[in-house]
Chains A and B, each alone.
Chain A
């Protein structure tokens, strides 16, 4: 698969790309973990830990666990990092690699399938359509050809 190789290549060079964005500048202050809304309910999740593991070349361990998928991409850590490290971007890259290696959680995979076939990540049913009608909103559905072009392109 082309895309997998591409992603791995990207991550192999990850230390360098992120490096130029000062990943090595992390001084482990823990601001990212302290402000993270996910960490408040998921103790095992910590952006600081993720940076540290990338610095220690522990990518395999990182992506084979589901830990990176806890990130909600709120970007709070990235906004607040005193060293200007692109933490959320880093985690997004890790998610991509995890998915392409087939290591992402089942739910994610199912969402991907839905996106591919229906163009959305939730299943649409009668109930939703009825509620939309009641609220005066247009009905959803129809062709997803445009989307498919986007996804494959």
Chain B
């Protein structure tokens, strides 16, 4: 923009929330002295309708082309002011929002002078960044009406039906010969203590699928390749005879789970045909092959097989499964004796009452110690189980005709390949990881891909169906709208200066950077989330992040350290968690020393070594890099990258003669205000600033 830069600064009193501590009129006078500032104004409630219209008038009256709002927190009010700026005819990316409530008035209530000083600095930083702001553009991507559902278990079936019933074209891909997944293999299922026939449940849904012209079912197909992004996915599938490419706008992953079977020989599993897992038992009962239950008079069920140890947690479903199957066996063979050997029984909701009914029927429960699992032997063809009873404090011996092992679960076979293709992550047990447990429970961090059912964690049919519907609804939002608007905060590569090292392409957590034949990178704007990891790592410094450019951030650092740098801490806080923690400290009125000058970045991975160095060069007392707590990061792995980089920076600082101990790291969740406040206290103390 070649025009003259004209900045307007709008400072909010927030009633007495800010005005009660900070001398706002002084701030107004101060900001008038800053370069490019044309107008500075105080508002009692800047977010009120009246003031917003006054703001629009002032923008027009003074032909402002940059706006700085000093008020509460960008996490809550930035969208409102962005809209206002837009309504006034300005590009919304020309707004800089600075928090003087959560970061100053609320947390330094007893240090009024210091708080005012800090607010001045924050405004100065914002103004110097504002002068460098440039227009940004929201990216609009078309989204079609076709969806792919991967996995044809009950979750996949419900998702596909829900999408198809809303008028979307659905391709349901299942690698087995038939739809049905785990449900197909079960003899009985229970929902809220009511027994259902899996066959009936499944058949009803299969009929619905058959009669729905919007669903195309591909059974016997494996996924070979997934490419693209929301609105433009290409899924390549293959069966024995050939391959097919499906175009889709959204993908729902419902790949389910599989039993984590015991090792061969463990509890004689795989060696004695009378030893089965729960799922194998159900299948055998369903098929009732060669009179499977003939002569079975005594059954032993052992729970928590390879679960709740150092490697694996609670399997989530085992207790309920074991009780359901114990009851089922007792019903099928009324004169049988059934033992359930357990460590603990966890029975949520109405399930908790079942145990009394089972005991009444004569099913026997024996609790064994965590470190003393039952021992299984084969004595001339008889299964002998030795279990230590915690109440009797003695080992009991049981001869069994059938031994059923309750195992935990893991993600479906081949999930590692699939998650690579989809660029999503899973936990160590192969269960896929959602974007956020509360804010995006069926979303992935990448747009347009959703998950549900047992692919996420082991669960019953009811929860699976709930999630399947949820995932379908999430997928339908962009498809109904016909487009998505991605924020304009993205990476841009200056190919003139690029030396095609390929680092950005390798590092991008979203695979948003592709390289052509000449190894020249380019950014796929639809995939880029603007975390800034690539820009901070680029050795040629040829990647810029819109709205978070290197020079903009450096300008903030310079402004912050103009006066008394030896007393100040430069803090880089990520927008999502760390700034959330800062805001939480503010809301909770936690008081901490006013030494920090915080700079907002989208992700801690945006903070480059040169920024840290700059702060120390200018004499900062300390630097804090704060991001999301592990393993959560809104940009998949940004915080891990930041941690590595900070460790590298420490070495560089040491070489340059700065004390690396002055560079701090903080991982703080958005709810953890006390952690941030405490870190501030400690930092000030350890850096000797008080």
Contact = CB atoms under 8 A, between A and B. Distances in A.
Contacts of B396: 56
Contacts of B362: 15
Contacts, number: 24
B364 interface: yes
Interface in A44-87: 46, 48-49, 52-53, 55-57
A55 B359 contact: yes
A25 B392 CA distance: 18
Contacts of B359: 24, 55
Interface in B348-378: 356, 359-360, 362, 364-367
Contacts of B365: 55
Q: Assign chain B's interface to a size class.
A: 10 to 19
A28 B392 CA distance: 12
Contacts of B356: 24-25
B643 interface: no
B364 A55 contact: yes
A57 B389 CA distance: 14
A19 interface: yes
A116 to B, nearest CB: 35
A93 to B, nearest CB: 19
A15 B364 CA distance: 13
A48 B391 contact: yes
A40 B677 CA distance: 52
Interface string B424-456: 000000000000000000000000000000000
Interface string A23-35: 0110010000000
Nearest to B367: A28
B391 A28 contact: yes
B389 A52 contact: yes
A49 B391 contact: yes
A76 to B, nearest CB: 19
A56 B298 CA distance: 13
B532 to A, nearest CB: 56
A26 to B, nearest CB: 8
Interface string A83-97: 000000000000000
A15 B363 CA distance: 12
Interface string B376-395: 00000000000001011100
A143 B177 CA distance: 90
Q: List 4 tightest A-B contacts by C-beta distance, closest first.
A: A24-B359, A52-B391, A24-B360, A56-B364
Interface of B: 356, 359-360, 362, 364-367, 389, 391-393, 396
15 contacts: A15-B362, A24-B356, A28-B367, A46-B391, A48-B391, A49-B391, A49-B392, A49-B393, A52-B389, A52-B391, A52-B392, A53-B392, A55-B364, A56-B366, A57-B364
